[in-house]
Structure 1
Amino acid sequence: MSTPLLRVDDLHKQYGNTQILKGISFDLERRETVAIIGPSGSGKSTCLRCINYLETPSAGHIFLEQELIGEKKLHNKLLRRMNDTELAPQRQEIAMVFQLFYLWPHLTVRDNVAIGPMKVRGMPRAQAYELADAMLDKVQMLHKAASYPEMLSGGQQQRVAIARALAQQPKVILFDEPTSALDPELVGEVLNVIKKLAQEDRSMILVTHEIRFAREVADRVIFMDGGHIIEQGTPQQVIDNPQHERTRAFLGQIGAGAPAAPAAAGGSAA
């Protein structure tokens, strides 16, 4: 059996007395797209932020290609948290696309995409611009390379943010509800870009409320609620034929077409 690209092992996150994540464990295989769905407040976004240590887990471990993320083994086999300088190379391997776009307003689109490779990888400007243009072309934004963020629609800004993540040349891309801040008519253009990336067999984790999109693009779906993974499996298993009552209730509430619980023999569905 092959070693997973990313492994989340018994992840916990607590703020004061409030537990957000209560022992989350799952793997991401190479070239796999995993969609995480669930109600607001279930811990989906916190899980993503812990994976690349934007949030420090309260307990548990993250492994990328069997390397501990955010922790360093000491000679006595104890672990200590890495500082930001030590974390920087690891974070470069795990790109994140946020709900909001976080583009530098004083930089052009090209510079927003190129600045990461220049600052983090020390890439020469000409090479970084060549990479930025290639990534902008991939998300159909090359024609806006000389524009500034304020001149773009929300959907265009999010596509630039995706190009910026791609320019990191990461091993994993995390999407944290990338369409939630967009007007409805702009959602499709961003989802189309993500769909193309999934078709390229990139390794991605997508937190989304777009259930039908998750069914279409994900290799595997995880349903979270209350800081726990309730069930996971193929889209057909989790979305079309959920086994847990909480999953069925959630999908029914949002009109995702989850079937009712199967009727007992000789009876009717409850």
Structure 2
Amino acid sequence: MQEALLTVDGLKKSYGAAEVLKGISFDLKRGETLSLIGPSGSGKSTCLRCLNFLERPDAGDIVVEGKRIGRIGDRFMNDRELAPQRREIAMVFQLFYLWPHLTVLDNVALAPMKAAGMSRAEAYELAGQMLEKVHLAHKAKEYPERLSGGQQQRVAIARALAQKPKLILFDEPTSALDPELVGEVLGVIRELADEGRSMILVTHEVRFARDVADRVIFMDGGYVVEQGRARDVICRPQHERTRAFLGQIGEGAAESAP
């Protein structure tokens, strides 16, 4: 069997009295693309943020390549201790979080220099390569304000790739974009999936998840309701709640999809 890159076991997270994650468990094989789908408020984004300890889980284990993330024994790691682990798990957010006073090339090169200790020459060479990968090498000298939302998100993806991560997390990367810009970002994500990158994608683009993800997890109310091969879950859902959700978003005829 293919080796698991990531194992999540019994992940729980509450905010006050609101229990958002109620014991989430799943794994991710190396080179696999996994998509989390489900209604707003189901816990998808919280799950993603717990994976690299942007949010501290209340319970459960997160293991990458056999190494427990975020804890030393029973003690949570501090930010300094977490930094090397976080570099292995890159995250692309809904918003782009680019430095407005830096050029596109500077934005991508900054983290390899500051966080990974790469030389300036190496970092800028790597940044140029990553911009080529997201088809934006011609925008290297531009500033973020001169880019479209789709272009800014592709720069954010290039910045994540420059970390040389073992795993990339995408938290609804197209939700802040105008509809006509969604395709260019999804196109880059599709190319990364085709390369065999290990990725977890939270998205409302269910047809994209069906076509690109290897597996899909449907979440609702803080639980994993159903998981399996992408086309099985989306085209032939077994759980009534999954069928109801797909019907509400216009995928109710998914069983007939090719």
Q: TM-score, normalised by structure 2?
A: 0.97
Match of 1:90 in 2: 85
Determine which structure has more spread, i.e. the larger CA radius of gyration.
Answer: 1
1:10 aligned partner, one-letter code? G
Count of residues paired in the alignment? 255
Q: Establish whether residue 48 from structure 1 lines up as the match of residue 48 from structure 2.
A: yes
Match of 1:238 in 2: 233
Paired residues of 1:248 and 1:259 also in contact (CA < 8 A): no
CA distance in 1: counterparts of 2:127 and 2:230, whole angstroms: 34
CA distance in 1: counterparts of 2:186 and 2:251, whole angstroms: 17
Matches within 5 A, 1:30-109: 30-73=30-73, 79-109=74-104
Match of 2:181 in 1: 186
Matches within 5 A, 1:111-260: 111-258=106-253
Paired residues of 1:175 and 1:206 also in contact (CA < 8 A): yes
Cα displacement (A) at 1:3:
3.6
Cα displacement (A) at 1:34:
0.2
1:218-246, CA deviations, whole angstroms, 9 ceiling, x for partnerless residues? 00000000000000001221000000000
CA distance in 2: counterparts of 1:46 and 1:11, whole angstroms: 10
Q: Percent identity?
A: 73
Alpha-carbon spacing, 1:128–1:66, altered in 2? closer, same or farther (3 Å)? same
CA distance in 2: counterparts of 1:236 and 1:175, whole angstroms: 20
CA distance in 2: counterparts of 1:80 and 1:246, whole angstroms: 38
CA distance in 2: counterparts of 1:105 and 1:72, whole angstroms: 37
CA distance in 1: counterparts of 2:254 and 2:144, whole angstroms: 43
Tell me which stretches of 4 or more aligned residues in structure 1 moved more than 4 Å. Answer: none
CA distance in 1: counterparts of 2:231 and 2:192, whole angstroms: 21
Paired residues of 1:9 and 1:62 also in contact (CA < 8 A): yes
Q: TM-score, normalised by structure 1?
A: 0.93
1:227-266, CA deviations, whole angstroms, 9 ceiling, x for partnerless residues? 0000000122100000000000000000023458xxxxxx
CA distance in 2: counterparts of 1:219 and 1:104, whole angstroms: 34
Structure 1: which 5+ residue stretches go unaligned?
74-78, 261-270
CA distance in 1: counterparts of 2:84 and 2:253, whole angstroms: 42
Cα displacement (A) at 1:61:
1.0
Cα displacement (A) at 1:37:
0.2
CA distance in 2: counterparts of 1:237 and 1:2, whole angstroms: 20
Please state whether the residue corresponding to 2:54 is helix, strand or coil.
Answer: coil
Cα displacement (A) at 1:40:
0.2
Please state whether the residue corresponding to 1:222 is helix, strand or coil.
Answer: strand
Cα displacement (A) at 1:2:
4.4
Match of 2:21 in 1: 21
